[in-house]
Amino acid sequence: MNKLKNIIYVLGLSLAMIFTGCSDPDDEITSIDYDRLFSPTELKASIVNKTGVRFIWNTVPKAESYNIEVYDNASYEGTPVKSASVTASPSTIDGLIGDTKYWGRIQAVGSDIPDSKWSEVSFTTDINSVLLPIEIGDITTEVFTLRWKPGKNATKILVTPASGKAIEQAVTSAEISAGIAKVSGLTPSTEYTVVLYDGAQRIGLLDIKTLTEGTLFVYPDDDIASMISEAKEGGVFLLMPGTHTVATLNITKSIAIEAASSTDKPILLTTVIRPADGAALALKDLILDGTGSSGDQAIVYAEGEFGALSITGCEIMNYLKGTLYVSKATKIKSVTITNCLYHDIECNGGDFIDFRSGLAETFTFQNNTVYNSALARDLFRMDAGGSTNFPDITSIITIENNTFYKVCDGSSRRILYIRLANHEISFNKNIIAESQGHYTNQNATTIKERSQNNYFNAPNYTASTVVGAQNDTGSYTTVDPQFKDPANGDFTVGNLTLSAGDPRWLQ
């Protein structure tokens, strides 16, 4: 009986194949009609100008427009706080309240087919800050002066240390009128988060660090070299606005050199900084101008073992050989470079970041912009000599969210000339534009992560024909960033679909 069933099944299948094969070509299915539009996919929301939101989605076939609605509740009940009908992705909704969570949704609309179902996303706007810049003298060892727009209502100030008890202080009517309030009882050399409230709404947020006991203010006519040579361990030097001309700063203790005012950055002119064995160094909100210097790199390390190097919010320019030179048996605990501008670094006789016989246990280069630099040299160089001298160290290298414009302008030039025996590189969400260089042609270079980078007029990062080239074959884009004015150092991104590069330029 089972055999008979099998014979009938095979016969039926054969007849079905015969009739299918003989069908009229005009009866073949060439398209599928659906009963409604597809919903938009890959919906994302990003905050712009603190209280606006930009929606980006994949467009839908046959959609002629899109409905956007923004609600203040997750159930989408009541009337939307904002709504719009748009025709293209991306689209921006402005005029929301700062520091508020919203729920947005988008629907595809067509003329001869029912609308799609909604696609949803949630987001939180940034604080629409009313705070004014910190002035010189506003931060002491135990007191902080908070400033905001005079007359703007505020109810309380909350000052919270990284550990320990927060200080909460009510705002008086006199302080509201003046837009000034003082918070006392702070601890020296301590980081705090300061929040200004108007009811439950945060209207100001900033991080501060109280001064260290013995912090010195340095004026342009002071002998800064002598002051630093006499520094105590952990000393902090706050440079007043103006030009501080000094050829060499020898760093023999672990110190910090910072701007007294981050809105009026002081200039260190012709300066080469030379850390000595054991020193840690923090540079913040400074302008280092190598014009007229000895021709060396901006920072030159001696042999030895060093604490952390931190460079934050600085502008470094006009150095002949490069920016950081480690040519001896030098181990640095960490190198962290963030929110900096580098430009017009010729690299004549050296590379932009140049480790020859030393290394950093961790190296982080994040949220920076580098332009018109290393045109005929490599950008990040870390030679095998570092591993020879420190064979037990695996150097962790992170290069993320940077904008590189007109660097390594030659097909033989490498962004990653890294030959340490033990290392891992993460190179993500960077923009490389107007560069004829390539990643690397070294077998020793270990790129662990490489994704979401954008290459514009930089063909050799994805298709170099150099022998041994490690091209990007993963997830990347090649769109024009539409920089606002790159010739004058303005890299504001006009292409709203782009989310890579130095965040300061994203709209």
**Which domain, by its residues, includes 191?**
144-209
Q: Omega before 90 cis (within 30°)? A: yes
Q: Residue 8 — very low, low, confident or very high, per pLDDT cuts 50/70/90?
A: very low
**Cβ atoms of residues 154 and 170 within 8 Å:** no
pLDDT, tens only, 379-395 = 999 999 999 999 999 99
Amino acid at 47: I
Alpha-carbon gap, residue 352 to 346, rounded angstroms: 8
Structure tokens at 141: 């060892």
Asked whether residue 312 is assigned to any structural domain, the reply reads: yes
Question: Is the per-residue pLDDT at 24 higher than 60?
Answer: no
Residue 270 phi, psi dihedral angles, 5° rounding: 65, 15
- pLDDT at residue 35 in the model: 81
Which residues are CB-neighbours of 433 under 8 A, at least 6 positions away?
A: 403, 404, 405, 406, 454, 455, 456, 457, 458, 481, 483
Collect all residues with Cβ–Cβ distance below 8 Å to 354 and sequence separation of at least 6: 297, 321, 322, 324, 325, 326, 327, 381
- pTM, two decimals, is 0.84
Instruction: Specify which residues 418 forms β-bridges with.
Output: 382
Could you tell me if 109 and 188 lie in one domain?
no
Residue 127, classified by CB atoms within 10 Å of its CB into exposed (0-12), middle (13-18) or buried (19+), is buried
Q: What is the pLDDT of residues 353-379, one digit of tens each?
A: 999 999 999 999 999 999 999 999 999
Any long-range contacts for 489-494 (C-beta under 8 Å, 24+ apart)? 489/341, 489/343, 489/371, 491/369, 491/371, 491/403, 491/405
Alpha-carbon distance 191 to 44, whole Å?
Answer: 34
The rounded distance, in Å, linking the Cα atoms of 159 and 234 is 24
pLDDT in tens, 173-219: 999 999 999 999 999 999 999 999 999 999 999 999 999 999 999 99
399 shares a domain with 317: yes
8-state DSSP, 500:
-
Co-location of 278 and 392 in the same domain: yes
Complete DSSP assignment for 43-89: EEEEEETTTEEEEEEE--TT--EEEEEEESSTT--SS-SEEEEESSS
Alpha helices in 390-494 (DSSP H): 460-463
H or E element that contains 203:
strand 201-209
In-domain check, residue 133: no
Both 449 and 375 in a single domain?
Answer: yes
Q: Check pLDDT > 90 for residue 21.
A: no
Tens-place pLDDT, residues 263-277? 899 999 999 999 999
Q: 35 or 466: whose pLDDT is higher?
A: 466
- Tell me which of 165, 194, 209 is where a domain ends: 209
Q: Give me the DSSP letters along 88-120.
A: SSSEEE--PPTT-EEEEEEEEE-SSSPPPPPEE
Clarify whether residues 196 and 290 are in a common domain. Answer: no
Cβ 249 vs Cβ 293: under 8 Å? no
Question: What pLDDT score does 300 carry?
Answer: 98
In degrees, to the nearest 5, what angle opens at C-alpha 440 toward C-alphas 438 and 443?
155
Q: Indicate the Cα dihedral angle 337, 297, 226, 268, nearest 10°.
A: -70
DSSP 270-312: S-EEEEPTT--EEEES-EEE-TTS-SS-SEE--SEEE--EEEE
Q: Is residue 28 a part of any domain in this protein?
A: no
Q: Is residue 291 part of a domain?
A: yes
Q: Which residue(s) pair with 359 in the sheet?
A: 331
Domain total of the chain: 3
CA distance linking residue 137 with residue 266, whole number of Å: 16
Residue 30 lies inside a defined structural domain of this protein: no
Nearest CA among 126, 488, 497, 500 for reference residue 341: 488
Domain co-membership, 423 together with 297: yes
Q: Residue 371 maps to which CATH number?
A: 2.160.20
Whole-angstrom CA distances from 409 to 125, 326, 370, 438 are 40, 24, 13, 9
Same domain, yes or no, for 54 and 181?
no
432 phi, psi to nearest 5 deg: -120, 120
Pairing mode, strands 156-161 and 167-170: antiparallel
The pLDDT tens digits for 132-167 are 999 999 999 999 999 999 999 999 999 999 888 999
Residue 74 sits in a domain whose CATH number is 2.60.40.10
pLDDT value for 27: 46
Q: What is the pLDDT of residues 273-321, one digit of tens each?
A: 999 999 999 999 999 999 999 999 999 999 999 999 999 999 999 999 9
**Positive or negative torsion for Cα 316, 317, 322, 325:** negative
Answer yes or no: is 8 within a domain.
no
The strand order across the sheet containing 156-161 reads 167-170, 156-161, 191-198, 201-209
Q: Does residue 310 belong to any structural domain of this protein?
A: yes
The pLDDT tens digits of the residues spanning 248-259 come to 999 999 999 999
* Percent of the chain residues past pLDDT 90, beyond the cut: 90
Please indicate, yes or no, if residue 255 is contained in any of the structural domains: yes
163 in the same domain as 86: no
How far is Cα 425 from Cα 431, in angstroms, rounded to an integer? 17
Residues 205 and 225 in one domain: no
Write the burial class of residue 88 (CB in 10 Å: 0-12 exposed, 13-18 middle, 19+ buried): exposed
Nearest to 90 by CA among 117, 52, 62, 51: 52
- 3-state class (DSSP) for residue 36: coil
**pLDDT at 3 exceeding the cut of 80:** no
Tell me what pLDDT residue 507 has: 78
Read off the pLDDT band of 34 (50, 70, 90): low
Clarify whether residues 148 and 242 are in a common domain. no
pLDDT, the chain, mean? 93
Residues 201 and 221 reside in one and the same domain: no
Query: Do 374 and 475 belong to one domain?
Result: yes
304-306 and 324-326: which strand pairing? unpaired
273: exposed, middle or buried (C-beta count within 10 Å: 0-12, 13-18, 19+)?
buried
Q: What is the pLDDT of residue 497?
A: 87
Q: Which of 209, 235, 261 is the last residue of a domain?
A: 209
Amino acid found at 202: R
DSSP 362: E
Question: What's the pLDDT band for 262 if we cut at 50, 70, 90?
Answer: confident
| Distance between CA atoms of residues 343 and 310, nearest Å | 19
User: What CA–CA distance (Å, rounded) separates 405 from 456?
Assistant: 9
Instruction: Decide which of 209, 238, 255 is a domain's last residue.
Output: 209
